[in-house]
Amino acid sequence: MDQIRIILHIDMDAFYASVEIKDNQELKDLPVVVGIGPNIDNYKGVVSTASYKAREFGIKSGIPLSQAYNKNKDIIVLPARITYYREVSNRIMKILKSYADKFQQISIDEAFIDVSERIKNYDNLIDLINEIKNEIYEKEKLTCSVGAGPNKSVAKIASGFDKPSGITIVKPDEVDKFLNPLPVQKIPGVGKKTRKLLEKNGIKIIEDIKNTSRAKIISLLGKSGAKIYDIATGNDKSEVKPKGPRKSIGFIRSFEIAVHDVTKVYQKIEKLSKLIIKKLRRDGFQFKTVTIVIRYDDFSHITRSSTLGSYIKDYKVLVENAKELFDKEYKGEKRKIKRIGVRVSNLTKSKIKQETLSEYFK
Ligand code: TTP
Ligand code: MG
């Protein structure tokens, strides 16, 4: 028999907003919104997240700030400080790692930890979860919600079950009872489109998936159907695994004032390419694919890539390719540029011993 697994999913509550509130207690219990966009003081941009107070008015991630303002004229909009949130996140992840047999970060504010080895059964799990929550709260003054179960999807669904600051433990023999009544969109990966498709076939809750054959679900949803069926039936076997090898290296920078001047963009491309080569050399990689990201002053953005004939770690080749991609895209374009990014991917470990960096910055 397979060993019973104990997997936790930890998700910080209203993460960006909570970080802002902990730094300014006067904001506690107020409808706080963290905004991202060109001019958030005038409600131009989007809501990255909303405090739980703001959520009472229907304000949520992804809606325009103007819409949030219409829902509640008293909202307090704060600019996102992503670098700072990342620092806080890194410290939280370090705490989580210290409790884990296996650890997998999923996003800036959520992670899975497998604790099957150190806990062995579900009886004392609540103590461990409280210990984790307390340590995070003591050190960072932030709350999180925790879900626990015998597989990753059950843990993930469970962490969202009792937010904010909830703990939901689903023991192996409770999985069916827990999953059955939930709407299908609770399954990670089931978005609007899939939900509609399932609904059209009379499948609304997870129990309905179970009462349909695996083959039928696959014929409806294609490849992802197999995974969705397995999750619905409590058979998600995927492992908590640490982040895989690095897939890309890239940097993105903003212009203080949007530009139309190509030489200014070139200068940025050169700067970003130097940073990339520096990191590439330090980590011992070569690349094959070059990508640029352009964000215009109207907030739209495009991504363009080209793949070279062989693996390269050369600064000049990178700059030339990035500029070429840029030229192709920007020729005749009237809009100004607000942000430019360069990224290399398709990485392989470089076999040649690391040479001095200065060579690449001549
Ligand atoms: P989430 O964990 O999805 O949301 P949350 O932590 O704000 O709230 P919850 O209590 O429901 O977990 O996302 C984590 C952070 O990622 C969030 O604080 C802000 C950012 N984010 C965006 O910038 N845009 C988005 O559309 C979403 C969903 C999140
Ligand atoms: Mg969260």
Residue 49 Cα to ligand 1 midpoint, Å, equals: 5
Q: Which amino acid, one-letter code, is at 25?
A: Q
106 lines ligand 1 (CB under 6 A): no
Ligand showing the shortest atom-to-Cα distance for residue 54: 1
Catalytic residue status for 355: no
Ligand 1 close to Cβ of residue 16 (< 6 A): yes
Q: How many CB atoms lie within 10 A of CB 132?
A: 22
pLDDT score at 125? 97
Q: Whose CA is nearest to atom 23 of ligand 1?
A: 48
Give yes or no for residue 114 CB within 6 A of ligand 1: no
Q: How many Å lie between the centroid of ligand 1 and the Cα of residue 62?
A: 9
Say yes or no: CB of residue 166 within 6 Å of ligand 1.
Answer: no
Q: Which member of 26, 56, 87, 110 is catalytic? A: 110
201 residue type, one letter: N
CB 129 within 8 A of CB 146: yes
Where the chain has pLDDT below 50, the residues are 352-362
For the chain, the distance separating the N- and C-terminal CA atoms, rounded to the nearest angstrom, is: 62
Q: How close is the Cα of 111 to the center of ligand 1, in Å? A: 13
Peptide bond into 188 cis (omega under 30): no
Pair of tokens at residue 304: 């363009």
Q: Mean pLDDT score of the chain, rounded to an integer? A: 93
* Res 246: pLDDT: 78
Separate counts of helices (H) and strands (E) for the chain: 14, 13
Q: Over the stretch 219-274, which tens digit does the pLDDT of each residue have?
A: 999 889 999 999 999 999 999 998 777 789 999 999 999 999 999 999 999 999 99
CA distance 284 to 10: 33
Tell me the three state secondary structure of residue 279: helix
- CA distance linking residue 303 with residue 341, whole number of Å: 9
Q: From CA 285, how far away is CA 303, in angstroms rounded?
A: 23
Query: What atom in ligand 1 is closest to the CA of residue 34?
Result: 19
Question: CA-to-CA distance for 138 and 333, rounded, in angstroms?
Answer: 52
- Residues 68-89: tens digit of each pLDDT: 999 999 999 999 998 899 899 9
pTM to 2 decimal places = 0.74
User: Which tokens go with 195?
Assistant: 């939900």
* Dihedral-angle region of residue 41 (phi above 0 means left; psi in -120 to 50 means alpha; beta otherwise): alpha
What residues contact residue 312 under an 8 Å CB cut-off, 6+ apart?
A: 286, 287, 288, 318
Residue with tokens 């919600």: 145
**Can you name the residues that pair with 291 across neighbouring β-strands?**
305, 343
